């Protein structure tokens, strides 16, 4: 996680579990969430994915399932989990 220093992290859930988990993971790995990274919060995961696709190629995203799957080609559906 050290390579996240100086990067921008896009996420959902400010003030909820995703924020607390992200902050915990950063702190546990020696990064100060308020100084070492820039965290931008969006209300919907679809906003995060739109930012990543449009203009934020250098950013890292924290997304819930099923949006965390990376689709190889635009428009391709993510892989399905067994039983779904």
Cα 27 to Cα 21: distance, rounded to the nearest angstrom: 10
The model's pTM is 0.71
Average pLDDT score over residue span 76-80: 50
Average pLDDT score over residue span 47-69: 74
pLDDT of residue 52: 82
Residue 84 has pLDDT above 50, yes or no: no
Average pLDDT score over residue span 3-17: 89
Q: Are 6 and 31 in contact (CB under 8 A)?
A: no
DSSP code, position 19: H
pLDDT of residue 26: 95
Average pLDDT score over residue span 52-62: 76
């Amino acid at each position: 996680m050290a390579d996240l220093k100086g990067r921008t992290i896009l996420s959902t859930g400010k003030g909820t579990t995703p924020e607390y988990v992200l902050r915990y993971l950063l702190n546990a790995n020696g990064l100060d969430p308020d100084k070492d990274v820039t965290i931008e919060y969006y209300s919907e995961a679809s906003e995060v994915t739109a930012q990543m696709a449009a203009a934020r190629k250098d950013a890292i995203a924290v997304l819930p399932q099923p949006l965390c799957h990376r689709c190889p080609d635009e428009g391709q559906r993510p892989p399905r989990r067994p039983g779904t």
